[in-house]
Each structure stands twice: as structure tokens, then as C-alpha cells.
Structure 1
Amino acid sequence: MKTERFNLRMTKQEKEKIRKKAEKAHKPMAEFMIDMALEREIVVIEGLPEIIRELKAIGNNLNQLTILAHQGKIRTMNFRNFTEQVADIYVEICDLAKRIS
């Protein structure tokens, strides 16, 4: 529980620069400034939200197919498309990991 306040003054340019960095890190400005002040590592992974969206879509499709299978509406399914999509995402994640290292 955060109970303490810390106020400081800065120029508009400084504030805007911090705001942009916080936005790029996908963090609220206060949280970003605390992390920076406490020398916590902030890692920004460009492209990760798109990969997460793709994985969620694949998961949703797989869930829908599972429901249809349990209802007896489908009996067989070709998973080649799923495995290809997951393999592509795996390659993307490996590329992101190499850029971080």
C-alpha cells in the first residue's frame, strides 16, 4: 500500500520526455519514475503485444473447436494451421529474446 507522496518540479520538456519514456515502457509515469529512481531494470519489448494478441486468437480458436468437439459437432480436425502459427510465433519470440540479450 503506497501511503507516501513525493512532489518535485521540472520543466515541461523534462516532464514530456519522462511521459514519453513511461508510455514506451507501458507504465504509469509515477511507477516509471519509482522504478528509475530505485534503479530497477525496465525492459521494453517492441512487438510483444502483437505476439500476445496472436496467441490469444489461436487459443480462442482452439477453445471453440474443443467445445464443438465435446458437443459432437466435429469429429476430426486438421491442426497443421495451428502448429504452423505456433511455430511462427515461437520464431518471433526467439528473435525478441535475442534482441533483449
Structure 2
Amino acid sequence: MPLLKKKPFTLLEPPKDLEPNELVYQVRFTKEMFRDYEVYLNRINLYRQRFWTCKVSGKGNLTYEEALVSEKHAAEKVPEIPKELMTPALRTIQFSKN
């Protein structure tokens, strides 16, 4: 889950009393649902801002969607790191500054 200004961000829960035929607005990449179009637009605008950070790599200045893609790519690359290098790599990452 991407970080918002380097802090955890929680997604909104779907409305509890949602009717099967009710019109809602849904964010494509988070699956969040909104009844109010203005609230939906505000959330979309938040996701388009460039202050999201990839939780896995620490890369910043991303949109929410870019941070999601970055996390996916970083998670795919982790198994490629040889076990012998894992400890020194994690130590370097831990003490590096962004």
C-alpha cells in the first residue's frame, strides 16, 4: 500500500447500505466506491498528486497509481536477490537516507 507523505494511508470502506442497482462512482485502482461525485473527484485528485511513496523501495514523488506499480515491480524483484546478499542489502537500505 503506497504511503501518503511517507505515512500509512487507509482506503475507505464501501458504503454499508449499498443497493444492488444504486449508481456509484468507483476508483479503478483502489476499488473505493462513492455515492457523491464531488467526494469521488476529490479522492481522484488526491491520488493524482505527486506526494506518494512506494512502500517497498522508498521511491517518492509518485502518484498513487505509480506507487502501486513501483511496489509491484519491487516485490517481483525481491526473490531475485541472492540470499547471501540479502543481509548486507537490507542493512544498507535500513541506514540509507532518502
Q: TM-score range by the shorter chain?
A: under 0.3
Query: TM-score with structure 2 length normalisation?
Result: 0.28
Higher helix share: 1
Give 1 or 2 for the bigger CA radius of gyration: 1
Query: TM-score with structure 1 length normalisation?
Result: 0.27
Higher strand share: 2
